[in-house]
Chain A
Amino acid sequence: MDSENKYPTEGFKCWKKAKELRLQYYKNYMQAKEKGGIRWAGNAPSIDAVPYGLGDDVYHLTGEPYGATVAYNKEFARRCHEVVEAKGYARDLCAYMRNYWGSVLLNEFVFGGPFPKPDFMWVLHSCCSHAKWYQEASRIEGGIPYFVIDWSAGMYYKWDEKREDYVVDPNQEHRIQYLVDQMQEGIEWLEDITGREYDDEKLIQAAKNYFESTSLWAEICTLNQAIPAPMDEKTMYSFYVFAALHKAHREVVEFYKELRDEMRDRVARGIAAIPNEKARIMTDIQPPWGFLEIYRYMESYGVVSIGSFYTFTLMGHWEIAEDGTFRPRTTPMEKGIEIRTREDALRLLADWALGLPMAQIFYDHRFKSHIMKKIFTQWKCNGIIMHFNRGCEGLTLGVAENKQALVEAGIPVAYYEGNMGDEREFELATVKEQITAFIESLGLIK
């Protein structure tokens, strides 16, 4: 253990606000019907900007953060798994999905009370589970209407031999059109099932919020390049979740601006996440939510996790600058693009969604390996600890190859197996042993 404290630390000023906002988000959803509002459910990447065109009283529940919250409550999660397995679902399926279905089947909301059924479901599909998750949720909830937009339109980037880097593939037009056509049909469907008239102005504002909030998140992550790191990844999880909850909401933009300013201030004053920072690691893929204590364990040896491809790019939007720097994506507003019509907004939304770095893992693992190396260098890391997460087969696509590539590049890499949402597949003692061996190999234990 290490007690050499060389950096000043302090808690985040906006921590309290974050807690309130998160609570308010779930409250809004639970109470939406009391005020005659609309509530819907969907996955975290779903293009929530589109349903915002139905009005200001539209609230939603994203399944992945909900599933993670369930995982954090181990006893509740256990009951969810039991009821889902009793219905014949395989236990190797997405752990978030099983937590969500379990909650529906038990008719218990993790925040208390019965499970608040949505009016409809609105989904963006990329891994094998997204569409099916809500198809089954609809079936067990008695036929709630759902609409799925397919995101798997192909790779946004392509390898440029000359630059030895990825560049945006110019062949995007029909891919954008594919998403636009689906969203157009989706808007007709939304009007149809809600009986409301669609407001393009609200769509345009929500789209702008989405561009801004997800680029801001990338900016916040970028500030963590500082030594000492002003934010550890465990804290980052609590903040990045807002983009996963409702990225197209103005509130998230405002909150991220505040957080960004606080990060700038911390960097300027040399405020550290942990006082004894000696080594910086990055992780990979969702953590085992019920066992975030492993981060505290690493910190006891002076090891801080500065983030990951996961926390940076699941919701954050980035671009590769000409000099190869991985940096926050320039928003259409920053480019001076005017958004006047529904068509304008949908095209930009499609283009934005297709360019998400995380979405590229579905087409080529080499992209992620390449970006991980960039993060490793730009964020000044000493090693990488990867979570081979049995709870999410989508984000584990390519992990074994990523590991190979990173080792090949001479980067110290360790991995452990676990599950983000099913504690039966996580052994704390074994994982601690692996983390310890890795820290030993970094020369931090004598």
Chain B
Amino acid sequence: MFDKFREWYENRHEYAKDWKEKTGGKVVGYICTYIPEEILYAANVLPVRILGGHEPESIGLAEPYLFGMYCPFCRDCLAQGLQGKYAYLDGIVIGQSCIHIRQTFFSWRQRIPHEFDHYIPMPMNVVTPRASIPFLRKELEIFKSALERWLEKEITDDDLRRGIEIVNKNRRLMKKVYNLRREPNPKLTGLEAMYMVVSSQLTDKNEHSDAIEEMFNNGLATRDLGRESSIRLMTVGSENDDVEFTKMVEETLGATIVIEDHCTGSRYFWEEVKLDEKDPLTAIAERYVTRTPCPQRDWEPERIRFRRILDLIEEFGVQGVLLIQQKFCDPHELDIPALRDLLNEKGIKNYFLEFDVTVPVGQFRIRVEAFLETFASDELFAEDIV
């Protein structure tokens, strides 16, 4: 049922090239999910997220341009570009993000040919919205003007409303699919969810939304994966599109990832733009300031993201949490001790794993298996009491 999304995920470059040929439109690569895709859709430009290729042998290509302690993901992304895999991109944009991935953008901008580039200084401060929203609104206006100059056409408020609706609709549909993961016998696996969300970052959202609707028409809601007795896990952390790891957890070890907090997962699409009667740029600015923050901009003492993680654990019936962190990812490293303290305090089992471009699946299998065994012993213990 999710094959379409897997195909898109696996053949992302072919998809984008075909789209260009078919529509004659422009494709813009983006780095980090803090990019207002609404404005790109308004301009009929296809935004695609630049991701890594999980190929350590090509990572070396990025070496001359990146500091040795920057995360494997940012190196992998740049290495993809340096190999010419994204040669079809007409432009690249970034919504100000962590400094590692910024370096990817900077080096890409300098070294890989393209027509258009833009850096949006997305505010880091999302806890003082009275300052950040007007600031971001102005930056979005600058971005829109830059696009207009490049494309030689005006982007009207109606275009913006259309762009917002395209992206919002896709968000609503993905959330509807996610609701099916709450059920005792989840209607989709974590791997399927990953294919869906990541491919939403790689394809035309109109087409992507159609594919989701088609799944519903084909009985997604009544599907039976026979996973009612599987251990329900949540993954939390940095960028994660590691298919091999997810397969190992769900196929080899039989657990089910029922929800996740990644920028390649729920964090990407959870909140919609609330348009109301507002000026569309203000509405977009509000969405990006008030969305579930990435750890680097989560400055509240209680952390906005943690509250949401606890809510998701409750709503999705999560039994245990896998904390997944890209090696050297400072924003997550700065949240993990506090998050582990919180989870431990709430009695929620959790286990920490550090990810690289490739993961040692064998070693991780033993570790995750041991983690899952702790749930089984809980049950044994419960039976003993009975």
Q: Which residues of A contact B (CB under 8 A)?
A: 87-90, 92-94, 125, 127-129, 131-132, 135-136, 138-139, 143, 146, 148-150, 152-155, 171, 174-175, 177-178, 181-182, 185, 362-366, 388, 390, 393-394, 396-401, 404, 417
Question: How far apart sit A388 and B121, CA to CA, in the bound complex (Å)?
Answer: 26
In contact, A417 and B68 (Cβ under 8 angstroms) = yes
Nearest B residue to A154, CB-CB: B121
In contact, A152 and B96 (Cβ under 8 angstroms) = yes
In contact, B124 and A150 (Cβ under 8 angstroms) = yes
**B317-352 toward A: CB 8 Å interface, digit per residue (1/0)?**
000000000001011011111101000000000000
Question: How far apart sit A178 and B289, CA to CA, in the bound complex (Å)?
Answer: 14
In contact, B64 and A132 (Cβ under 8 angstroms) = no
In contact, B337 and A87 (Cβ under 8 angstroms) = yes
13 contacts between A and B (CB under 8 A): A131-B124, A131-B297, A131-B299, A135-B334, A143-B301, A154-B119, A178-B132, A182-B125, A362-B102, A393-B99, A397-B102, A398-B106, A400-B67
Min distance, Cβ B96 to any Cβ of chain A, angstroms? 6
Q: Which of B124, B130, B134 contacts A152 (CB 8 A)?
A: B124
Q: Other than the known A127-B99, A131-B124, what 20 A-B pairs have Cβ atoms closer than 8 Å?
A: A125-B125, A136-B334, A136-B337, A138-B301, A146-B301, A148-B127, A148-B299, A153-B123, A154-B139, A174-B138, A177-B135, A178-B135, A182-B125, A185-B128, A364-B106, A397-B103, A400-B64, A401-B103, A401-B106, A417-B68
Nearest B residue to A139, CB-CB: B338
**B247-270 toward A: CB 8 Å interface, digit per residue (1/0)?**
000000000000000000000000
- Within 8 Å CB of A127, what residues of B? 99
In contact, B135 and A129 (Cβ under 8 angstroms) = no
- Within 8 Å CB of B67, what residues of A? 388, 393, 396-397, 399-400
In contact, A181 and B337 (Cβ under 8 angstroms) = no
- Within 8 Å CB of B217, what residues of A? none
In contact, A132 and B337 (Cβ under 8 angstroms) = no
- Within 8 Å CB of A393, what residues of B? 67, 69-70, 99-100, 330
Residue picked from B64, B128, B134, B340, most chain A C-beta under 10 Å = B128
- Within 8 Å CB of A390, what residues of B? 68-69
Min distance, Cβ B118 to any Cβ of chain A, angstroms? 11
Interface size on B, residues (CB 8 A): 48
Q: Which of B68, B121, B296 contacts A128 (CB 8 A)?
A: B296
- Within 8 Å CB of B106, what residues of A? 364-365, 398, 401
Question: How far apart sit A366 and B100, CA to CA, in the bound complex (Å)?
Answer: 16
Question: How far apart sit A178 and B65, CA to CA, in the bound complex (Å)?
Answer: 32
Question: How far apart sit A397 and B70, CA to CA, in the bound complex (Å)?
Answer: 9
Min distance, Cβ A408 to any Cβ of chain B, angstroms? 12
- Within 8 Å CB of B107, what residues of A? 401
Interface pairs A-B: 7 shortest CB-CB = A150-B125, A154-B121, A181-B131, A178-B135, A174-B138, A132-B334, A90-B333
- Within 8 Å CB of B102, what residues of A? 362, 397
Nearest B residue to A405, CB-CB: B110
Min distance, Cβ B68 to any Cβ of chain A, angstroms? 7
Nearest B residue to A179, CB-CB: B131
- Within 8 Å CB of A129, what residues of B? 330, 334
Question: How far apart sit A153 and B128, CA to CA, in the bound complex (Å)?
Answer: 14
- Within 8 Å CB of A146, what residues of B? 301
In contact, B125 and A135 (Cβ under 8 angstroms) = no
In contact, B125 and A171 (Cβ under 8 angstroms) = no
Question: How far apart sit A365 and B106, CA to CA, in the bound complex (Å)?
Answer: 7
- Within 8 Å CB of A155, what residues of B? 119, 121
In the complex, whether B142 has a CB less than 8 A from a CB of chain A is yes
In contact, A152 and B123 (Cβ under 8 angstroms) = yes
Question: How far apart sit A138 and B302, CA to CA, in the bound complex (Å)?
Answer: 11
Nearest B residue to A150, CB-CB: B125
In contact, A152 and B64 (Cβ under 8 angstroms) = no
Question: How far apart sit A401 and B67, CA to CA, in the bound complex (Å)?
Answer: 9
In the complex, whether B98 has a CB less than 8 A from a CB of chain A is yes
Question: How far apart sit A127 and B65, CA to CA, in the bound complex (Å)?
Answer: 19
Nearest A residue to B70, CB-CB: A393
Question: How far apart sit A136 and B135, CA to CA, in the bound complex (Å)?
Answer: 27
In the complex, whether B66 has a CB less than 8 A from a CB of chain A is yes
In contact, B130 and A88 (Cβ under 8 angstroms) = no
- Within 8 Å CB of A388, what residues of B? 67-68
Nearest B residue to A144, CB-CB: B301
Question: How far apart sit A363 and B121, CA to CA, in the bound complex (Å)?
Answer: 9
Min distance, Cβ B241 to any Cβ of chain A, angstroms? 22
Question: How far apart sit A8 and B234, CA to CA, in the bound complex (Å)?
Answer: 69
- Within 8 Å CB of A150, what residues of B? 123-125, 128, 132
Nearest A residue to B63, CB-CB: A400
